Structures are given as C-alpha cells and as structure tokens.
Structure 1
C-alpha cells in the first residue's frame, strides 16, 4: 500500500486549518452546508453530464484504488518471471500450466496458460498487447473523469458566489449584515478551488500515475512470458527485464 494520496490530502487540509486558526478565525466559517452542497453536488453532476454513465461508474470503482495505491515492485515481477523461466527450462513449457494455477494475477496466468497450450508467439504478443491497451484505456478514463471535475469545480464555485451576491444586493437596506453576507458568498468560490486542487486534481493525477505503473508492470510480464516461451536463459532474461526498468525504481525496490 502506498498512502501518498491520503497523506497529501490530509496535510493540505491541515495546512488550511492551520492558516484559519493562526488568523484568529474558526473552521465553522467555511463549513457552510449550502455552498458545499452546490459545489460538490453540481461538480459531480456536470462531470456525469460531460461523459457517460459508464465513465462515472468506472471512476467510482477506481476511487478506492487511489487511496490504497497497491504498487507492485518491478524487482518482484522480474524475480517471478525469472523463476518461471527456470521452471520452463528444467521441466518444459507444459509445466507452466501448473505454475499458472498458483498465480493470482489474471494477466500473467492467462499468458502462461496460452504458452502451455502452444499458442504462436506472434499471436500471443498481439493478444497481450491488446489486453494491456484495453486495461490502460479503462484506467485512464477514470483518471480523466476526476481531472474533468477539477476543471469544473472552480467555475461552479463562482456560480455559487454570484448567486449569493445576488442575495446580498437584495439586502442593501441592512448595511450591518452586508459584511457577513459577503464573506459567506465567497465561501462557494473557496470550496470550488479547494475541491479542485485538494481533491479532484490530485486523485485524477494519482489514478493516471497508477495506470502508467500498471502498464509498465504488465509490459514486463508480457516481455518476460514471451521470452520464456522462446526459451530465453533465465539470467539473461533477468538482465533484459531490469534494463527495461529505470534504475531509480530498482533502487527503491531494493
């Protein structure tokens, strides 16, 4: 689990609350139900309107992953593939069918089953590349949804402020109440900016990053599986796969 998103969001809101406290104000000054309902409700609504219902459902299913952030270390993938290469070299490709039953990852398991079934290498590469492309497209669609919310939220906040200022202008005959009413009016703009920069954009960026890492992981598995099918020597295979991974990523894994 990589809690970077959760830590970042908590620290961002913590800095906001610290600023409010240091200025002698109180957090209840911005926790107003009306502007919050407008900003969050309308932002999500226009996000749904800008895509399809399937996009919304896909984004909601991907949301927990942004906080859990399960990331597989590249070295762990390389070690697993090298182990499979050693098994294939000593026991033959048919032994990979038994190995596939012990693997939880459906992508690698499917690749091994196809190798054991004697699927042609070129056909297997095409099939695996298509599967990677489909997975990447689905993951990036979820990221795109939250990035879109980050674009809508500030404008929705401005809409809320304009509505509130209209109400302020209706009460010019009561100058004693104008100050608090104007302050309240700008809370909608505040929440529009906060939700965009503290929530939607970080979540969208995080999901995009996780999608890229998932593509990298699946690519390593694909190249490893195809090399195993071709009878590559395990040690050389490990060196080849490590060459596909940035040195910094391997150092972090170590």
Structure 2
C-alpha cells in the first residue's frame, strides 16, 4: 500500500471513530492488566462477564493474592485456559507486590517479566492505560496487515515492526484500536464484509466479497455493539 493510501486509510478510520476504545472493562492499571491476561484466546465479552464479579472483590494485587488461586479459578472458569490463567494472575499479583510496590510498571521490559504477560499484553496496557504509542498485534491486526497489503509479515513481530514504520505519527496511538475493531466487526476472518468496509477501494485483497466505490465516511458509521464479534483470537494477552 502506498504512503498516500496509508494516510487516507487512517484518516478515514479517524473520521469514522475519532475516540476508539478497547472493549475490556477495567478500573485501574491492575485490573486492565489482569483482564488482558485473561483475554488470550477468549472474547472480550466473555472476559467482562467473569471479571465483573471478580474485580468487585479483588481489584488490587493484595486482594487477589488473598483471594487465592482456587477462588480465582472458580470466578474465571468460563474462560478458556482458566486454570493456567488463574495461576498466572496470582503469580503476577505476588510479583507486583514483591518487586513493584503493588504498582503496574509503565515500561515493557518490566511488564513482560510478569508471569503470563507477553509483548502483546504489555503493549495493550502501555497503550490503553499509559498512553504510549505502542501497537499490540493480535490475530485481527495480523490478518488485516496482510490482507489489506498494509504491512505484510510472516509473524506478529514482523507486522508490529512494519506497522511502526509505516503508520503516520498522528495516527499511531489509536491505530491498533481502529484495526482491531475493523477486523472484529467488518473485515472478519472467514468472510470479510466488504460491502460495509470504508477502505475497500484502498484494500489490496484480491478476493473481496463485494465491489464498492470509494465510500463516504460518516462519524461512527458502524457501532461495534450491533453485531457479534469475530470469535477468532480476541485481545489477546
């Protein structure tokens, strides 16, 4: 995709959704971190259903450790890989207490030292809570980067590095939100809804499901609550 088309693509995303938000519920850096860890191979909706009751009684590292692994497991048993996730939630909470004064660190190196936290999870927390221009490449972004011809790559790290190089500085902070929401509700894995796509004329994907002219972009022209999400790898811890 050309530099001009990349600029146009993100300008349209910004016009459509000027204030994009992540869909995980949280009240602090800590609850966001736990929610993102739990969201690996699970939907945000499913995670929110589990964390609502959990965070009502354990919204700090101390409270979580006091609650214990068995109880955490019971709260999150509707989420995939819940046994290992419960273990990691307790371990990362204890490490936050022991090594970080119970505070979630605001640098990637420290974050990825926590049990259950990888680069992607760290990037989500750094972006959403600390306002850093990181790009968290999940399955949606990986798919879109390759399908659109935006930043092709063989793995998530290649795509992340490529996106960091080509996305205009004015759009970097919000870019992963726009791409995730577009991948979740429009450019779905099994069958992209090209009829609703506001960047279909820029997309280099050869197998479009519908031929459309350049769209007229309207503010919030789609609402992410109107359709069911694509359940292939939601935010991703």
Normalising by the residue count of structure 1, what TM-score does the alignment of the two structures yield? 0.25
Indicate the structure with greater helix content: 1
Q: Greater relative contact order (Cα 8 A, min sep 6): structure 1 or 2?
A: 1
**Max radius of gyration: which structure?**
1
